[in-house]
Amino acid sequence: MSWAMEIETPTYTDLVVIGAGPAGLMAACWAARYHVNVRILDDKPERVLTGHADGLTCRTLEIFDSFGIAHEVCSEASVDVQMRYWRPNGVGGLERFQSLISQKPGVSRFQQCLLSQGRIEELLERVCAEGGVLVERNMETLELGPIEEDESCKYPIEVKIRRKVNPGTPSEQEPAVDANDSIDDHGIKVIRCKYLIGADGAHSWTRRQLGIAATGASTDECWGVIDLVPLTNFPDIRQSCVISSLHGNIHVVPRERQLVRLYIQLESATPGERLDRSKITAEMLISTTKKILHPYTFEYASIDWFTVYQVGQRIADKFSAAERVFLVGDAVHTHSPKIGQGMNVSLQDAYNLSWKICSVIKGILKSSSLASYETERRPVAEELIDVDRETVSFYCSRGAIDRGGLQEFRNKHYRFLSGVAVDYSGSEMISPKHVSLPRFDDEPSTEACESLVEERFSHICLGQRLPSYRVVKHANAEPTSVGSLLSSNGRWKLLIFTGDLRVEAQAVRFNNVSKAISATSCSIRQRSALDMGCQASVDIFAIMACPRDSVPLLSLPEIYHPWNESTGWEYDTVYTDEPDVYGVCEDAYGRYGIDRTRGCLVLCRPDQHVAYCGELEHTAGLELFCSRIFMETRSECD
């Protein structure tokens, strides 16, 4: 389409994000942390206020914690602890026949919970604002131009936008326009950018502009969803439960503010036809609920929101175009809301992608790293579709719950649904699992060592997120979680598990690795605070397997407590795996499967996934991995 009277000089920015839902805001949060120039555009006048997604997995809460908002989410949310199951009792009523815990112990330090999408968006928008990134609302996207193929073009993407006019909205309340925008006489603005992220939902404008198809189909299964304040004598109304009756199925999901969400099975659509949602009313959903819950009574005090959907699963044929324009969330995969994964997987798409784009923009990573987005996230999307299809089939079958197999079904998919099993191994952004390792005097031959690399650190999985256990800060004995060290500040994290430094041989090994990392030629040092100060892209932490009083902090090499003329020594980088002052010890070494007499090196990406793991002596392997993905620093170029 051609737009009249275009301005020749457009606005330039590093990144454009289209869509200010959870995925778009997560992408913008990373941009704010990296301090890249970003514009996030949304066609709606305000954020979501009611309804939509609400389930939050423990992995999503870990991500929120890395941005500093998990405590607010958890304090306001409805915690999901137990799932209960109901079936017909054979005499016209219902009976509770099974109760299962919602989240297995030890999976995460966070418990899965439920909180409205609107509140999540509000918190993410605040993170963006703290970094100077504001959402531009009421912005209509008009045209996405062809991506320039000339490598010398720094801003190869052009997008045309226009502010929507809201009748009755005072002009002073309309979204602000960037003062540098090029605007023609029709109010059309032209933006050129280096990268663009389409987070604009299932009917993605970005995907359509790129001509990318979404492959899949809709089923005949139809469900209603309603948020309300119930008035009922059903005993489990404030607990997650599944009710299978002769009249259909209901999923009960307790929400914040006394709200309850009901997923209500409706009559199937006519095969091959789309459901006419306009014919389904809230009162029809209430009527169906009363039939399913009989003989329990059911009324309501108020209705907050409702919708109707026809189950379908689709996945985009491609996740990006020329590794310049990317799709995340519902723009690239759609499924039913029954498994509570929509917001979670969408957030995690953006969490995986945006730090890579920002790192390329800032000159930290090579641009080839962007290919890893589809490599890493497509398998997740494909498994999501498969799990959703199987779940819908299981729960929609009349009497399926009554036939048993619930525990087996939940166990089969539990780790995926919790979000903690996502595995990026095989990506170029993850070190290979099998590498040739040098031989030590107390070990078998080199050939045998190659097969032992995964056994040495048995509970640290390359490609997966690093679990969090409690440790003690050396400087002040403060109990701290390893997860809190992995904040989303845009930096890689090198965790040096020193082993027991009271053992002379281990102290020698630790000093040797410290010298190697402290060398001016070491790529880790060149990217650390020692050389880069506040511009560092790598944080270094030491976690000792000996009491804090046995090794004075300032006796350690300077790389573990760098000096700053304004603030003095750094005291937040050395920790110990020992009981805290309350006698609590989670045995981080043991739970990671790390030998306390040998220690190891663990390199985590900015998104908390383990990229490299090796013996303390294996700094050469670490250097090799870094050389594959990092751009050269100035000192490397000199």
pLDDT at 272: 65
In the chain, what is the straight-line distance between the N-terminal and C-terminal CA atoms, in Å?
49
The pLDDT value recorded for residue 405 is 66
So what's the pLDDT on residue 397?
62
The Cα–Cα gap between 617 and 609 comes to: 22
Domains in the chain, ordered, with CATH?
A: 11-78+110-213+314-393 (3.50.50.60), 446-637 (3.40.30.20)
| Per-residue model confidence (pLDDT) at position 542 | 97
What are the φ and ψ backbone dihedral angles of 243, each rounded to 5 degrees?
-115, 120
How many other β-carbons are positioned within 10 Å of the β-carbon of residue 396? Answer: 20
Helix H, strand E, coil C: the string for 44-91 is CCCCCCCCCCCEECHHHHHHHHHCCCHHHHHHHCEECCEEEEEEECCC
pLDDT, mean of each 10-residue run, the chain (638 residues): 53 97 98 97 89 87 97 94 92 92 89 93 97 96 93 94 68 45 68 98 95 84 90 95 90 91 82 74 94 95 89 90 97 80 92 98 96 97 89 65 65 83 94 57 42 62 95 96 96 97 96 93 87 86 96 93 88 95 93 94 97 94 93 60
Identity at 196, one-letter amino acid code: L
Instruction: Return d(Cα 493, Cα 491) in angstroms, integer.
Output: 6
Measured CA to CA in angstroms, residue 340 lies from 108, 112, 210 at distances of 18, 11, 29
Instruction: Residue 190: name the closest of 182, 199, 198 by CA.
Output: 182
pLDDT for position 271:
66
- Residue 106, burial from CB neighbour count under 10 angstroms (0-12, 13-18, 19+): exposed
Amino acid 440: pLDDT: 40
Strand 610-614: give its sheet, edge to edge: 479-481, 470-473, 574-576, 538-544, 492-499, 600-604, 610-614
